[in-house]
Amino acid sequence: MSHGICKCLCHKSVGIGITLIGLTLLLGRFGVLSTDTVSIVWPAILTIIGLKKVCKGFCKCCKTDTPSTGGHTHTHGQGCC
């Protein structure tokens, strides 16, 4: 692992979610997914991203006790986020 780069999935959830929303909209545009499916899936993904951001305090790899790193310390000895 590189120093200063967190490899935890929890820190990649926004990027993954945006990608999934884009794929959902694209598949809907090409007719692979129905309009009804697209209208349900993309808000659900967006809601999950929002809940993940709200619950980021429960991330097991980061603690919020070191002000020099923006309030995050990586428990594996690496910078977080």
Interval 27-45: pLDDT, tens: 999 999 999 999 999 999 9
pTM score: 0.62
Strand 73-74 and strand 62-63: the pairing is: antiparallel
Banded model confidence at residue 80, pLDDT cuts 50, 70, 90: very low
Higher pLDDT, 73 or 15: 15
Residue 79 has pLDDT above 80, yes or no: no
Within 8 A by CB and 6+ apart from 10, the residues are 52, 56, 59, 61
Q: What are phi and psi of 5, to 5 degrees?
A: -120, 120
For residues 13-35, average pLDDT: 92
